[in-house]
């Protein structure tokens, strides 16, 4: 399986990663190799295998609905780049 430049550019946008023009060729090769490996795996007959949702053969433990957390806003906001009136400030987002 091959991956196109366009695919790489799209994935980069979705992942919010800046990919320079010269990196794209290298990525084309690297990602192509990974996809080839996946193709090999796809060749295995899995008809009788139930898909796994998790590599561990265990089930999730649930927690009782009780408040266990206290307000630690001051500590969290001490390491935030910008806050005001208790809000975290981020570069302006417009829908």
Binding site for another protein (CB under 8 A): 10, 14, 16, 53-54, 56, 58-69, 71-73, 76-77, 82, 84-95
Q: How far is it, in rounded angstroms, from Cα 47 to Cα 45?
A: 6
Please, what is the minimum distance in Å from the beta carbon of residue 3 to another protein?
Answer: 15
Please, what is the minimum distance in Å from the beta carbon of residue 13 to another protein?
Answer: 9
Alpha-carbon 12 to chain mean position: 12
State residue 21 phi and psi, 5-degree precision.
-50, -50
10/29 with CB nearer another protein: 10
**Rg (Cα) of the chain, in Å, rounded?**
22
43/94 with CB nearer another protein: 94
């Amino acid at each position: 399986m091959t991956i196109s430049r366009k695919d790489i550019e799209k994935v980069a946008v979705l992942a919010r990663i800046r990919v320079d023009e010269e990196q794209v060729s290298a990525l084309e090769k690297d990602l192509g190799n990974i996809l080839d490996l996946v193709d090999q795996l796809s060749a295995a007959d899995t008809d009788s295998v139930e898909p796994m949702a998790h590599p561990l053969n265990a089930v999730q433990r649930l927690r009782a609905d009780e408040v266990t957390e206290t307000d630690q806003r001051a500590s969290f906001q001490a390491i935030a780049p910008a806050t005001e009136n208790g809000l975290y400030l981020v570069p302006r987002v417009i829908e």
